[in-house]
A and B are shown apart, each in its own frame.
Chain A
Amino acid sequence: MRTLRSLLILLVLALLAAPASAVAPALIEKLALGEYDDKIAALNELLGSGDESALDFLQALHDGSVQVAGGKQVLIVKDNAGIDAASGKSLSPLPPEREDVMVNNRLRRELASAIAGLRLASSKRDTRLAAAKALQNGADEEMLPLVSRALAKESDPDIKNLLTLLAATMQLQSKDAATRLAAAKALASSSNPNTKALLLAVLEKKGDAYAEPDAAVRAEAQSSLKALESRLSTGDRFGQLFTGASLGSILLLAALGLAITYGLMGVINMAHGELIMVGAYSTYVVQNLFRAQAPDLFDWYLAAAVPAAFATAALVGMALERSVIRFLYGRPLETLLATWGISLILIQAARTLFGAQNVQVENPVWMSGGITILSNIVLPYNRIVIIVFAFAVLLAVWLLLTRTRLGLFVRAVTQNRAMASCVGVPTARVDTWAFGLGSGIAGLAGCALSQIGNVGPDLGQSYIVDSFMVVVLGGVGQLAGTVYAALGLGMANKFLEGLSGAVLAKIAILAFIIVFIQKRPQGLFALKGRMAEG
């Protein structure tokens, strides 16, 4: 009864009011103060009327910026400024006794589709396109009149396509067989995974009878389903390629530094993982500095974090080289043990300085979210950025090694230390610089890893075995070895993961490397000559 009365009131108001500056107070009250069922009922009313003026309020409700003062007055609060939702008047000062209006998932979902539905009638093309895309995730049948109305008024071809598909998904359940047939046919051009479920439901068999009585509709649905599935599987394959490339780029960043130091000094640095951790923690520190000192520039903290991570890790690496590693020259096995000891110290130092808990590193805004391809694959921005970053680092290292003096010395010492020393290359200093370079690259890897995973004292431990495998597989003759090994292992790992799960994939990769090393102990790209002798 009460619902009907509100509906009448609303209709009257809608008829009488000119472009309203606010929504009916009764509806606002219901949306803010009522039980969840009442809220949804009020929402459906708004939808039915297509009243655009409610958009501000609905958006605020969705974002959680609606508060109730004194149990009665409904406010929209943004940045300490309040507007009364019913009258539209701004309020200052804000009343002190305010309570948040809590929204749960179900309400948020309804709000999201209601907002999108109302936005379909906007005058701006971009808003309409965004709204149409948002509705692809599933809209209820109640939206059909709204969608049909928008479709009738729409002139833009992209939006028209989306709306047609949307209408088709809703019309699949229509009472009229001809409508259903047309809908099934229209859905052939869809690439929305949600549509697959709808088409499958049409073809479902309950006992002996089909859910869909009309055979023509079923045939149409079948062919649409086939088209949809082939489109989806292309998307899946592309997604798999991307995940492989993403993992490969991370392995590349992690292993590049190790390859350089191992190639140069024959030292496997067991503390390499901890240098990655040092880079990640420096990113955290830079992030905190930005948050405290320059919150407006927070989104660009990475620009400072990247050089900071490189510098800190490089300094730590050089310190290690000068203090411990250089004295173990010529004793690779001892170096292994000593660097393992260093890694334990670094881990415990991180725990003492920053606590045993993980620390929070936030993605800047431009790295959150992803781009949607083919409507079923989302490529996260942070992973795209990391792939690009990895190749940028690779390019920089290659330029350094081939075009600079230091690079020349590094290559000389790697190929024949004794001869290089005779010719006048300061091998000790080259060692230090090269170790610094390798450690710095590890720091960069840490900076990248902080954006996609945990930052904690044990960060390095999870990447050390992988880095070793890449170096062992790729050999230390050229950078290309590391690149091929990293990308190859990444792709292979992801491909196997799809087949048999993450653990077995990893075990298979390890087994493969162990066997590969028997056949070709020096790796893919090895130095020619007698360097291979341990």
Chain B
Amino acid sequence: MKINVWVLVLVCTAFIQAPLYAKGDPAKGKILAAQGDGSGAPCATCHGAQGEGMAAAAFPRIAGLNADYALQQMLAFQQGKRVNPVMTINVDNFNQQQLADLAAYFATLPVTPATTPTAPPEQLALGKKLALEGDWDNYLPPCSSCHGPNNQGVDGNFPGIAGQHASYIKQQLELWQQGQRKSDPVQLMEVIAKRLKPEQIDAVAAYLASQPAQADQ
């Protein structure tokens, strides 16, 4: 595949609709979160008053989420790289500055703990092994090789996944398997998700949910 560097730069530039790291205003984001985008519901309807999410419905915790990551995901809902009709309706009227404001607001909210897992110890042990050691014989590197120490996140491309609701982690891994989520750079997550067996998904989701989302928790 021969690519002219300058052509690629131009193509790329055309793709960029806004700087990925647009500065958001948390105060404006708070107001937007309460108002909604005009056609959808306020964020709190599903994600809770503190951004804590709702485990029973697989609505993720968004409090304390990396702002760059949150912004990229909302853009992905707008652009169809993440297939989720509800989220798309809820954010489709926001412009990119407004999305950045929302992301900045939720990033400032204190992390709420995920529900205490009821998973059996052997399932948690399998999940811990996958999260921290991987299963290299099946070409599964540990989650932490990209999601960072204790899976608490690296940056906008590698979010913290510790302390997230198990139901949501499971749902997302399955969406990757089904091709409904294409927002990951270089298909880094898609390939891993597609190699996971159902029992591995259950185990890793249960273990990650049981772990603190931040180092100081």
A, B assembled together: no
B residues contacting A by CB (< 8 A) are: none
